[in-house]
Homo-oligomer: A and B are copies of this chain.
């Protein structure tokens, strides 16, 4: 058992931190938000140059064969600066789907351009009525002579509006909630019959609603076996939980640091408010929550490659609950200890607050996962 980073990992972390330190000041971030994509295309190329966009991919596809720990380090760094780029959607979610289920042809066609920063992807699985249920898929895929025809709608697809290609889940067979019969399809964002509508999330990141009307997909664009996609989707979501948990930890670190700084500098009644023991103890509790949350994010990362599916799912669910509860506590108290200034758009802490709030409501919130865990108690 050890928690040390390898030299390569330390180099990676330091390189990312340096890059972001130079390019992700709060004012710079605001300018990226104002760009048409809502994030920085030029930084995206920098990520590519530094090898971040192919980090988890196999070498033969222009990747570096990195694992969940490497992804964790990158996501933590992104969390510390509230990076806006579609890394989770493109590299983690879609990249995992392709790496796990893609054919040689599919991987060679897509992973290299992604690694080089020439293509972005989105994972279009969630639907309006599904909330957090992974098996609740109503979008249909009908077989045709040439391939498939997709009909339905996808909801709150992270970066779905700007992505070049979408990985869309659709039901080939079975009823709503049926674990079998779901397929994953590679769909060109410009395909006929596909309509997208983008909007900002509460944290400023981009998402989209996507409608599919008789969208034709070639046979070769089916990912993996027809109707057997659920296990793939579950692993994609697990990878997403691990990565977004690490991002949340980065954001919690930043909120905790800001709060300490404020407690030391803000004067009321002739002394820094940090001299109030009640606030000191709250800050101590925030630290404990942050560190326990960090432990859970590490657990999630180390479990992503666990072979036993039940063990993997259970531990990652526990991590999701732990990180979610910890981030809620840290974020709510970060604003509370800042007082009025923490409630303002101009001040950074509220932006971090909303980022962990959005992360908490991705892939199932703590109540959702706790309820599932509880049903296994015996």
Contacts and interface: CB of A to CB of B under 8 A. Distances in A.
A207 B168 CA distance: 67
A325 to B, nearest CB: 20
Interface in A271-288: 276-278, 280-281
Contacts of A280: 278
6 contacts: A276-B277, A277-B277, A277-B278, A278-B278, A278-B280, A278-B281
Contacts of A281: 278
A280 B277 CA distance: 10
Interface size class of A (residues with CB under 8 A): under 10
A276 B280 CA distance: 11
A277 B277 CA distance: 6
Interface string A86-114: 00000000000000000000000000000
Shortest beta-carbon contacts, A-B, top 6: A277-B277, A277-B278, A278-B281, A278-B278, A276-B277, A278-B280
Interface in A251-290: 276-278, 280-281
Nearest to A284: B278
A278 B281 CA distance: 7
A277 B274 CA distance: 12
A277 B278 CA distance: 6
Contacts of A277: 276-278
Nearest to A276: B277
A279 to B, nearest CB: 8
A16 to B, nearest CB: 39
Contacts of A278: 277-278, 280-281
A280 to B, nearest CB: 8
A280 B280 CA distance: 14
Contacts of A276: 277
A277 to B, nearest CB: 4
A277 B281 CA distance: 10
A375 B46 CA distance: 55
A196 B246 CA distance: 62
A238 to B, nearest CB: 30
A281 B279 CA distance: 11
A2 B280 CA distance: 42
A278 B283 CA distance: 12
Interface in A186-205: none
A337 to B, nearest CB: 14
A12 to B, nearest CB: 41
A297 B280 CA distance: 35
